[in-house]
Amino acid sequence: TARLSPWPYPRWIAHRGAGKQAPENTLAAFRHGAALGWTSYECDVKLSADGELFLLHDDTLQRTSDGHGIAGLLDWTALSRLDAGSWQGPAWAGEPLPRLEAIARHCLARGHTLNIEIKPTTGTDAPTGRAVALAVRDLWQDAVQAGRSPWPLLSSFQPEALAAARIAAPELPRALLLDTLQADSWQRADELGCVAVVLNHRLIDGHGLIAQRQADGLRVLVYTVNDAARARQLFDWGLDGVISDAVDDIREQVEALAR
């Protein structure tokens, strides 16, 4: 039985900042989550054409901003002028795409922890993984050495991004994201030196899968659980963390369900 690494992260993680009630992956979403008492966040990070790291979920800009086309083909100057809030409502007009650096400052100032999903623009897995790892080392190093923060957890659906992150900064904790299970999924996580897997919660139908992964030394987290009864069940099965959109009330509801 492998040993589980210490786990410095809260078990509740707000998805895309707290990006269901505020524009996803913006500082406004992080502020919204903080106002509701959330202390741990997932966000999606990609690389601009000129090498800046910023938050965005999709490859393209049109769903969550007033821009169009592939975000990763633009320089940061152009990206920084976009409105990433108005699509969610007039109250958020003018909210910009944030750089990873701004999110790092926000979280470090509050003692909040981060799960950075490396979300490469198609075809840029390795360079994005490498850039995220080097930036995270730079931004968090002092706080980690002073014991003020754990490292962010780096996760990705793209093994190549995690492999590149590992080469650039092997000390950073990594997690493989899995939306489906293949015969070699666990072996893959192991080969990438992961401390955790982050699974689509629908892949879990009982306590066995969680217990087996933990016996192999892997923490088990899931996305995206918005139903309190489901979250309660998963925690009762020994789950290490839940990524959720339901930031307004799910934690209280799950507490109320506790036996």
Catalytic residues: 15, 57
Cα torsion 18, 21, 26, 28: sign: negative
| Nearer CB in complex with ligand G3P: 1/225 | 225
- 99-138 mask for ligand G3P (x: CB under 6 A)? ------------------x---------------------
Strands (E), the chain: 12-14, 40-47, 53-55, 113-118, 153-156, 174-178, 196-200, 219-223, 241-244
Q: Which of 198, 218, 242, 254 binds ligand G3P (CB under 6 A)?
A: 198
Q: Is 117 in the site for Mg ion (CB under 5 A)?
A: yes
Q: Is 144 in the site for ligand G3P (CB under 6 A)?
A: no
Task: Tell me how far, at minimum, the Cβ of 142 lies from ligand G3P, in Å.
Answer: 26
Q: How far apart are CA 3 and CA 77, in angstroms?
A: 46
- Coil, helix or strand at residue 171: coil
Q: How far apart are CA 188 and CA 196, in angstroms?
A: 12
| Nearer CB in complex with ligand G3P: 178/257 | 178
Q: Is 24 in the site for Mg ion (CB under 5 A)?
A: no
Stretch that binds Mg ion, among 25-33, 38-46, 159-167, 225-233 (CB under 5 A): 38-46
Q: Which of 44, 95, 240, 245 binds Mg ion (CB under 5 A)?
A: 44
For residue 60, give the DSSP letter.
B
Q: Provide the token pair at 158.
A: 């793209």
